[in-house]
Amino acid sequence: MATQLSEKLLTVSGLTIIPQSVVPHDDAVFAAGRAGSLMRLVILAPAGSKYLAQFEGTLQEHEGSKVLVGPNSAQNIASLREVLFWLNPQLLGLYRSAGFGDRLGVATPGHIRALRAGPGNFAPIFAQQSIREMSRTGRSAQQVMDDAVWGVFAEGWRDGFGADADHLKTPADIDVCSAAGFTFYTIDPGEYVNNDAETMTADALKTAWDALPWGELHDTPEALRKRYLNQTFDIEGHELSFTEQELMRAAVKYGRVVTDVAMMYRHLAIVRSKLPYEMEVSVDETDSPTKHPEHLYIASELRRLEVKWVSLAPRYIGRFEKGVDYIGNLNAFEADFAVHAALARYQGLYKLSLHSGSDKFSIYSIAAKHTRGVLHLKTAGTNWLEALRTVAEADPPFFRSIYGFAREHYETDRATYHVSAQLDRAPQPDAVTDAELVGLIDQFDARQILHVTFGSVLKADNGQRFYPRLMQVLNENPEVYAGNLERLLKRHLDPFGK
């Protein structure tokens, strides 16, 4: 039936209809179509249908009915969300989930194809972007949402999805993302982690302990000691305990994290009081790993303050660098990760989250085993790299210019990322042939250089130097880009099995 309808819509609209997008609803038929590299909304309905007045576009007659052809505009996407309920993000709960960041707004079809080709049993997040990334790409929270919703519509995904407002740092961030309809809120209190706690002298530690915001914590030093000292916590056979020094270091390192997360949670609960929401806590962007007793402290204190969250991202041992596989001893990682997974169950069950989770192929099976499927995988930058792969395949000279620009800006842009790429290890732009350029996407140093400079590339010359041509290439080659994403992201999902 969808094929017949798409053929009919092609005849009456003159557009290339995307067959999987065709959906009959009430007295109308909705579909996405292409006019060259531009996407269009197509609606076929009786002349008196209410939907013809609800959407913007041009009308034409067809055998007693009318056909509306309109843009994939914010207004039309909002109206689609009112009509087709499955275009609204929803809560994912404890289902195994994967977040797919999209810095350009055209990756969702590839994400969906990877899910369909993968092992199944993943709840997806299609709208996912941090405030930092929104700033660097020049996109608003509403644009991130609208682009993902349009991709869901065009690809015909009707099995539900979440929307992650990632790495939020202020109540104002929550307000902006709530207005756009996000349902999953990742709180990033990284700036409140006291990384010096690891190495403080006893006197400095005591001073920092005394200076903790005990009132905001609704706590006292004596009560905190009573809850943790002189006892052993049996975490599925792993015994954890605190010395007084260890407890003080955990509280000094993460005490202000607890107060910040609690404040953000209370604000979120007010803003979303009549709307669905769930929260993730992220403490992964810190200088040192989260020790098991520290994980216990964070989760226990948040529970005490009646904070509710669905997933937590500790800072694991080893290096989770952008765009490359895990760097570290896998046996040590597995032993450490197993206890973190047990702690998540001990504390009442929440998902462990793998941030900077892109391309960490060597640890996926370990994570799947120890979390027993209660896990969230977060990817982002790898989708940008696949966009660049598509550019390198379609227009090598243009990609060469992007790569040269990225090299020039790497030393500045790397400041906010955990990366170890060195410019002198990455080939010079003129040292490789056009045919060899695409291989730079997979060379360790070049890959990280391209990964972290996305903001500079997109904003070069006020967004006019690279962005228009980049989007033109992707919109002219949508199947190539979707295929590249499907291939790579299926590699991410397959190790988790059924």
- The count of domains in the chain is 3
1-5, 20-24, 330-334, 468-472: range with lowest mean pLDDT: 1-5
Strand partners, 351: 311
Residue 191 lies in a domain: yes
- pLDDT at position 285 is 82
- Cβ atoms < 10 Å from Cβ of 490: 16
The encoded tokens of residue 83 equal 């009509």
Give the residue from 353, 381, 409 where a domain finishes: 381
Query: Residues 317, 442: one domain?
Result: no
Residue 44 lies in a domain: yes
Query: Residues 250, 338: one domain?
Result: yes
Query: Residues 98, 69: one domain?
Result: no
Residue 210 lies in a domain: no
Q: How confident is the model at residue 396 (pLDDT cuts 50, 70, 90)?
A: very high
- pLDDT at position 498 is 67
Per-residue pLDDT for 494 more than 60? yes
Query: Residues 346, 249: one domain?
Result: yes
Which are the contacts of 95, defined by CB distance < 8 A and separation ≥ 6? 121, 122, 123
Query: Residues 178, 242: one domain?
Result: yes
Query: Residues 73, 95: one domain?
Result: no
User: How distant, in Å, are the alpha carbons of 19, 171, 192, 262, 296 from that of 257?
Assistant: 49, 15, 5, 8, 14
Active site residues: 166, 280
Residue 172 lies in a domain: yes
Query: Residues 250, 346: one domain?
Result: yes
Q: How confident is the model at residue 407 (pLDDT cuts 50, 70, 90)?
A: very high
Query: Residues 362, 416: one domain?
Result: no
Q: How confident is the model at residue 239 (pLDDT cuts 50, 70, 90)?
A: very high
Contact predicate 356/363, CB 8 Å: no
Query: Residues 281, 349: one domain?
Result: yes
Give the residue from 381, 412, 445 where a domain finishes: 381
- C-alpha torsion 400→401→407→409, nearest 10: -160
Query: Residues 338, 477: one domain?
Result: no
Residue 438 lies in a domain: yes
Per-residue pLDDT for 2 more than 70? no
Residue 207 lies in a domain: no
The encoded tokens of residue 271 equal 């803003």
- pLDDT at position 1 is 54
Q: What's the Rg (C-alpha) of the chain?
A: 24
Instruction: Give the SS3 label for residue 200.
Output: coil
> What would the pLDDT profile of 319-370 be if each residue is shown by its tens digit?
999 999 999 999 999 999 999 999 999 999 999 999 999 999 999 999 999 9
Give the residue from 338, 366, 381 where a domain finishes: 381
Domain of residue 441, residue span? 385-493
Residue 435 lies in a domain: yes
> What is d(CA 117, CA 97) in angstroms, rounded to the nearest whole number?
16
Q: What is the pTM of this model?
A: 0.96
Query: Residues 447, 360: one domain?
Result: no
Query: Residues 111, 260: one domain?
Result: yes
The encoded tokens of residue 313 equal 């991202």
> What is d(CA 18, CA 366) in angstroms, rounded to the nearest whole number?
39
Averaged pLDDT for residues 112-130: 95
Residue 201 lies in a domain: no
